[in-house]
Amino acid sequence: MRVECSAMQVMLASANPAKILELKDILGQAGIEVIGLGDRSSTQEIETGSTFTENALLKARYYRDVSALPTIADDSGLEVEALGGEPGVRSARYGGPGASDADRINKLLDKLRNVPHDRRQCRFVCVAAIAWDGGERTFMGESCGSIMTEPRGQGGFGYDPVFFYQPLGRTFAELTAAEKAEVSHRGRAFRKLVTWLRSSGALDTPTSGDRIENPIEVPSLAPKR
Ligand code: IMP
C-alpha cells in the first residue's frame, strides 16, 4: 500500500525575498508548503494600518481574497526605546522613498549618536497573521536587544547588522539562519502560528478543494462581511 501525505498549502503574502526565505524554512519544517506572491507587486500600499497587527491582518485578508487560499502574512519592525518606539511600523519606509537598508541604518545611528550604551535598548516585533475562509488569527513574537554604534556582520537583512543580541553576544547579522530563526521575533511568532495550526486542524480538509464544514470557533477580528 502506498500512503501519500499531502502538505498543507498556504499563500505567503510577502514580497521581501529575505523574509520569504526565513519563513519558507520555518513553515517548511512544519510540513507547510508555501506559495509565494509570484509577480504580484509589493505589499507596501496595503500596509495602511497604525499597528503591526492591523497591517499583518490587512495583508493576509487582501491576498486571501485574491488567491482564495489560506493566507499567511506578517508585519514586523524595530522599536527603539530612546526614540519613543521609532521606526516601529514605519521600519521599512524609514529614510524615505528609495532609501536602502544602509541608508536606514545610517539614519538610525545618526539619531542615536549621543545616546549612551545603556540607553540603546530596542526590540524587534513581528505579528504573524493567518486568514482563511473560516476565520483569522494573529500571533506576536518579540526579540530584545540593543543598537550598536556601528554595523557588524554580513548575514540577515534590514537592521540586523546593528541589532546586538546579548544572550548570544552577536548581532543578528552575525548569526546563521538557523540561529536567527531560533531567537528572532519572526521565528517566535511563526512557531506559535504553526503550533496552533497543527493542533487546531482549522485548515484540514479531507480532499483538496473541500470547504471546511465545521471550522473551530475562533474570535474574528475582521469586520463582518
Ligand atoms: P515589513 O515587510 O512591513 O514587515 O517591514 C519590516 C521592516 O522592518 C523590514 O523592511 C526591515 O527594515 C525591518 N525588519 C523586520 N524584521 C527584521 C529582521 O529580522 N531583521 C532586520 N530588519 C527587520
For the chain, the straight-line distance linking the first and the last C-alpha, in angstroms and rounded, comes to 45
The pLDDT score that the predictor gives to residue 2 is 63
Give yes or no: 74 in active site. Answer: no
pLDDT tens series, the chain, 225 aa: 665 555 678 899 988 888 888 888 888 888 888 888 866 566 777 888 999 999 999 999 999 998 889 999 999 999 999 999 999 999 999 999 999 999 999 999 999 999 999 999 999 999 999 999 989 999 999 999 999 999 999 999 999 999 999 999 999 999 999 999 999 999 999 999 999 988 887 776 543 344 433 333 333 334 433
Which of 57, 91, 108, 172 for a ligand 1 pocket mutation test, highest count of atoms within 8 Å of Cβ?
91
Ligand 1 centre to CA of 68 (Å) is 27
Total domains in the fold of the chain: 1
- CA–CA dist 166, 178 (Å, integer): 17
Q: Is residue 120 part of a domain?
A: yes
Q: Is 75 in the pocket of ligand 1 (CB under 6 A)?
A: yes
Report which protein residue has its CA nearest ligand 1's atom 22.
158
pTM of the model: 0.86
CA of 9 to the centre of ligand 1 (A): 24
Q: Which atom of ligand 1 is nearest to the CA of 47?
A: 3
Query: H helices of 112-184, where?
Result: 177-183
Kind and range of the H or E run holding 58: helix 52-67
For residue 221, tell me if it sits in a domain: no
What CATH number should be reported for the domain holding residue 17?
A: 3.90.950.10
Count of CB atoms within 10 A of residue 138's CB?
22
Q: Are strands 8-12 and 135-147 parallel, antiparallel or unpaired?
A: unpaired
Ligand 1 atom with minimal separation from the 87 CA: 8
Strand (E) or helix (H) holding 124: strand 121-132
Helix (H, G, I), strand (E, B) or coil at 130: strand
Residues 6 or more apart in contact with residue 152 via CB below 8 angstroms: 161, 162, 170, 171, 173, 174
Residue 79 lies in a domain: yes
* Domain around 171: 5-210
Residue 219 lies in a domain: no
Q: Is residue 127 part of a domain?
A: yes
Could you tell me if residue 173 is inside a domain?
Answer: yes
